[in-house]
Amino acid sequence: MVILVLNSGSSSLKYQLIDTVTKEVLAKGNFERIGQKNAFLTHKVGDVKHKFELDIENHEMALNIIISKLTSKSCGVISGIDKIDAIGHRVVHGGDKFTKSVLITDGVIKQIKDCIPLAPLHNPSALAGIEACREIMPGKPMVAAFDTAFHQTMPKERYIYPVPYKFLEKYGMRKYGFHGLSHNYVAHRVAKLKGVPIEDLKIVNCHLGQGASICAIQNGKSVETSMGLTPLRRNSSGK
């Protein structure tokens, strides 16, 4: 099975094309400055890097260009769009509705939209990528993987803030946690390297990148994390 994995930013579109049988990354790249002047695509196949400078107005145009490169004779890795079996989307905020990755439906899209006030810079970008795929590859199965899903195992005393409870009920004001896809992967990788079942481990993960967070993982489940209500805040105290 060949999977196209997308990570849509406000002005970027990162991607990998993965063969799940061989676990090989067939191609990967990043479209940057979408909707701005001097937009460019970096497309990598193996150790060979290709760079293209293009004027791109939106994510749909960017995805069309990416597909054209994936299927081209000069730097492509598949013969046609029909070779892509499914698409995976990274979505930053799923609220408390999702505890795992899910098949994207109209209902899922609505719930992602409902979380826009909690992630105003991130969820609209993810939706732009999803809508672009619907236009270009109608009928292809798509899956949403949420950064918040991994942290939904936190106990109530960890995710409820010491504020009036009506704020939770009316506005969803609680700790959600982020970078869950990274924390989940790293924890399982640690368990594999140690040769110990993840259910027997207590792990503290540090995710360091353009954003940063710490996560306490017990028996393979998130029990505490440093990020709170929204990815726009660095931690639950807002500092």
**Amino acid of residue 93:** H
Task: State the maximum Cα–Cα separation within the chain, in Å, rounded to a whole number.
Answer: 61
Told to judge if 19 belongs to the known catalytic residues of this protein, a careful annotator would answer no
DSSP string, 104-151: --HHHHHHHHHTGGGSTTTHHHHHHHHHHHHHHSTT--EEEEETTGGG
Nearest in space to 217 (alpha carbons), one of 206, 228, 209, 208:
206
Catalytic pick among 19, 96, 106, 147: 147
57, two tokens: 């107005």
> How many beta carbons lie within 10 A of that of residue 70, not counting itself?
24
Element (H, E) at 7: strand 2-8
Q: Which residues are catalytic?
A: 147
